[in-house]
């Protein structure tokens, strides 16, 4: 809602002022950057619920723990990719 009301996301790019372009791009970057940790927390939540359902010493439990341990480094990689790659 902020993008539409403040940064002119409802208009064509040629109809925007320079301030609206800069502010809109900044808001888009922050929104995309905050989406990454939210996705990570959702993944971890689902994997932890799987751990509660899996029987003790099963392959599914080990797989859930492995995926859970990979969620944080993968999210850091996505964040670095978003910060360092233009566009």
- The pTM (predicted TM-score) of the whole model is 0.63
The mean per-residue pLDDT over the stretch 5-16 comes to: 69
CA-to-CA distance for 43 and 83, rounded, in angstroms? 21
Q: How does pLDDT run across 50-64, given as a tens digit for each residue? A: 888 888 999 999 988
DSSP 11: S
Where exactly are the structural domains of the chain? 2-84
Encode burial over 28-64: b for 16+ CB neighbours within 10 A, e otherwise: eeeeeeeebeeebeebeeebeebeeebeeeeeebeeb
Half-sphere exposure of 21 (CA within 13 A, CB side): 7
Q: How does pLDDT run across 11-31, given as a tens digit for each residue? A: 777 777 888 778 888 888 888
CA-to-CA distance for 4 and 24, rounded, in angstroms? 9
């Amino acid at each position: 809602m902020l993008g539409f009301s403040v940064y002119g996301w409802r208009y064509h790019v040629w109809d925007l002022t320079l301030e609206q372009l800069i502010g809109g791009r900044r808001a888009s970057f922050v929104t995309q950057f905050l989406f990454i940790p939210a996705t990570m927390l959702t993944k971890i939540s689902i994997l932890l619920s799987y751990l509660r359902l899996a029987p003790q010493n099963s392959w599914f439990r080990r797989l859930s723990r492995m995926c859970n341990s990979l969620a944080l480094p993968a999210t850091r990689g996505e964040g670095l990719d978003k910060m360092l790659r233009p566009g």
